[in-house]
Amino acid sequence: MKKEQVMAEPFRIKVVEPIRLISREERERRIKEAGYNVFGLKSDDIYIDLLTDSGTAAMSDNQWAGIMLGDESYAGCRGFRHLEEAVHDVLGFNYVVPVHQGRAAERLLFQVMVKKGDVIPFNMPFDTTDACIRSLGGKPVNCVADVAYEPQAIHPFKGNIDLVKLRALITEVGAQKIPFIMLTITNNAGGGQPVAMSNLKEVKEVASEYEIPVFIDAARCAENAYFIQQREEGYQDRALAEIIKEQFSYSDGCTFSCKKDPMANIGGLIGLNNEELYRKILPLLIAQEGFITYGGLAGRDLEAVARGLREMTDDDLIASRIRQVEYLGELLVDSGIQIIQPVGGHALFVDVASFLPHIPQSHFPADALAVELYLESGVRAVGLGALAFSTPDEGTGETISPKMELLRLAIPRRVYTDRHMDVVAEGLKRVYERRNQIRGLRIVHAPPVLRHFLARLEPV
Ligand SMILES: *Cc1c(COP(=O)(O)O)cnc(C)c1O
């Protein structure tokens, strides 16, 4: 939908939270204390925080009003009814399992559906999803189209499943070993890249041939719908709300981290139409999260989630959000910095291999760049490279480094202005200009798993 006029954010600011830039000397002290790992920084020492878009949104006045109206009854609270209505209206599901966040939704659904030896095709599984399936003895298999691995290739739907890979996998392992197929929209692990409606439809058709259910990992389903509206034939004149709902019509259910597009600070859910499956999940829900009408959340959180689900269907809101991510992307490209193209819905990714070609992966260039950006301008982004994703080879035990070294800048929803984006871009540009002087990092100590969250590092 082309607009004639320049459009600003479709909201004005009613509450503000002060932030400040501490001095360069202080930043040097803080990052040293943090073991040269941005996860160890205190938020008060950060000027602009682009660590994640999860749970960091600014809630609306309507969501805050819902917080005040929260009904804290243990069973049968009003907030649950509002959540059921919102899930039905926005996503089209009849049954809702509330949970404290997305990974709890995954754990409950997978415990009921995944057996040892099962294989689950994905476009690309998100890390918590991957870990949960493996812990149950299942094997997630990546069936994303190859273009997802070409950072500079401009393609409208880099999150699509490759249907040839999907069919080959079903033929190879047999449909009885596949309890469901899962599509993550947008594809977070692949850089927030969208999945086309045609792909959702085709995956459902293939799945139906073999009577395999399809689930959607729905955290950014509104952003995905926006990309469909902008990029897919036949959707230009359709309202976002309609497109969001159509996506789920090609599925049997969803898991949903409501800390993303629904702009709640905490919360998640499972949406389903199959009553039998819903009934199987309930005892686990009570044992692991809480009673079936609150699922580990306060009643007030249910209100914030229910209202956020409705708000995320606003065309202008999602358009302004993605425009801001694109704006930052353009500033970086104009400075000669290479980023993954096209920018994703919630984040953009700097190609660190081209930024710091002189630092070998064994010296963690992505994390070194995160440290430099913090030192330069007080901005926190996160390195996603060898520190996070190196794995030992199953045979030789040698370290296998990931294909890419990336710096992720995730943009919280409704939190920062374009001026903040200018500061981020300018800081990164200054680091780029002195990139030849930047050194890598080495590990002082780190746990064997999930080491990028906890590692202590030092300059080489
Ligand atoms: C964030 C996320 C999850 C996990 O949700 P949490 O609320 O963080 O537990 C699962 N899948 C995707 C795609 C996500 O982005």
Q: Please work out whether the CB of residue 126 comes within 6 Å of at least one atom of ligand 1.
A: yes
CA of 324 to the centre of ligand 1 (A): 22
Residues 451 and 399 in one domain: yes
Our answer on whether the CB atom of 217 is closer than 6 Å to any ligand 1 atom is: yes
Q: Do 242 and 158 belong together in one domain?
A: yes
Strand 214-217 relative to strand 382-384, pairing:
unpaired
Position 4 in a domain: no
Q: pLDDT (tens digit, 9 = 90+) per residue, 175-216?
A: 999 999 999 999 988 889 999 999 999 999 999 999 999 999
| Alpha carbons 180 and 168: distance in angstroms, whole number | 15
pLDDT in the model for residue 404: 86
In a domain, residue 390? The reply is yes
Q: Which of 100, 107, 126 has most ligand 1 atoms within 8 Å of its beta carbon, as the pocket-test mutant?
A: 126
Indicate if 380 and 276 belong to the same structural domain.
no
- Which of these ranges, 45-49, 75-79, 129-133, 433-437, has the smallest mean pLDDT? 129-133
**Six-digit token pair at 42?**
């205190």
CATH code assigned at 139: 3.40.640.10
Check if the beta carbon of residue 290 is closer than 8 Å to that of residue 104: no
Q: How far is the CA of 394 from the centre of ligand 1 (A)?
A: 28
Residue type (1 letter), 111: Q
How far is CA 71 from its chain centroid?
30
Name the DSSP class of 347. E
Tally of domains in the chain: 2
> Per-residue confidence at 3, pLDDT binned at 50, 70, 90?
low
Is residue 252 in contact with ligand 1, taking CB distance under 6 Å?
Answer: no
Range of the domain at 337: 24-53+315-459
Same domain, 295 and 323: no
Ligand 1 test: best mutation among 51, 123, 195, 260, most atoms within 8 Å of CB? 260
CA 260 – ligand 1 centroid, Å: 8
Spacing, Cα 335 to ligand 1 middle (Å): 32
Q: Shortest CA distance to 262 belongs to which of 96, 137, 395, 117?
A: 96
Helices (H), 335-458: 352-355, 365-377, 386-389, 418-433, 451-454
Same domain, 89 and 201: yes
Answer whether 265 contacts ligand 1 (Cβ < 6 A). Answer: no
CB distance 129 to ligand 1 below 6 Å: yes
Residue with tokens 């956020």: 308
Give the total residue count for the chain. Answer: 460
Does 18 map to a domain?
Answer: no
Nearest CA among 240, 241, 306 for reference residue 267? 306
- pLDDT tens for each residue of 348-365: 999 999 999 999 999 999
**Index of the ligand 1 atom closest to the CA of residue 257:** 7
CA atoms within 13 A on the CB side of 455: 21
φ, ψ (nearest 5 deg) of residue 415? -100, -45
Last residue of a domain, one of 254, 285, 311: 311
Is 2 domain-assigned? no
Helix (H) or strand (E) holding 325: helix 315-334
The answer to the question of residue 215 being in a domain is yes
Residue of the nearest CA to atom 10 in ligand 1?
A: 102
Say yes or no: 345 and 412 in one domain. yes
Q: Check if 56 has its Cβ closer than 6 Å to any atom of ligand 1.
A: no
Q: Are residues 303 and 327 in the same domain?
A: no
List the CATH number of the domain containing 396.
Answer: 3.90.1150.10
- What mean pLDDT is reported for the chain? 95
Q: Which backbone phi and psi does 134 adopt, to 5 degrees? A: -65, -40
Give the pLDDT band of residue 397 (cuts 50, 70, 90): confident
287 pLDDT exceeds 90? yes
Taking the C-alpha atoms of residue 376 and residue 371, their distance in angstroms, rounded to an integer, is 9
| Claim to verify: residue 175 and residue 252 sit in the same structural domain | yes
CA-nearest residue, atom 14 of ligand 1: 219
Same domain membership, residue 219 and residue 276? yes
Of 126, 226, 278, 364, the catalytic one is: 126
Among this protein's residues, is 217 annotated catalytic? yes
Same domain? For 234 and 249 the reply is: yes
Confidence at residue 398, expressed as pLDDT on a 0 to 100 scale: 83
What is the reported pLDDT for 330?
A: 97
Q: What does the alpha-carbon distance between residue 359 and residue 353 come to, in Å, rounded to a whole number?
A: 8
Of 184, 188, 224, whose CA–CA distance to 203 is shortest? 184
Decide which of 292, 311, 330 is a domain's last residue: 311
On whether both 166 and 292 belong to a single domain, the answer is: yes
Classify residue 11: in a domain, yes or no: no
Q: Is residue 71 part of a domain?
A: yes
Whether 5 is covered by a domain: the verdict is no
Q: Of 276, 295, 311, which one is at a domain's C-terminal end?
A: 311
Going from the C-alpha of 413 to that of each of 59, 268, 311, the distances in angstroms are: 9, 17, 12
Q: Is 352 in a helix, a strand, or coil?
A: helix
Report the phi/psi class of residue 179: left, alpha or beta, with left for phi > 0 and alpha for psi in -120 to 50.
alpha
pLDDT in tens, 246-268: 999 999 999 999 999 999 999 99
Question: Residue 38 above 80 pLDDT?
Answer: yes
| Residue 312: how many other CB atoms lie within 10 Å | 26
- Are 342 and 243 found together in one domain? no
Question: Is 219 touching ligand 1 by the criterion CB < 6 Å?
Answer: yes
Report pTM. 0.95
Is 283 in contact with 114 (CB distance < 8 Å)? no
Question: Would you say the CB of residue 107 lies under 6 angstroms from ligand 1?
Answer: no
pLDDT tens digits, 312-348 = 999 999 999 999 999 999 999 999 999 999 999 999 9
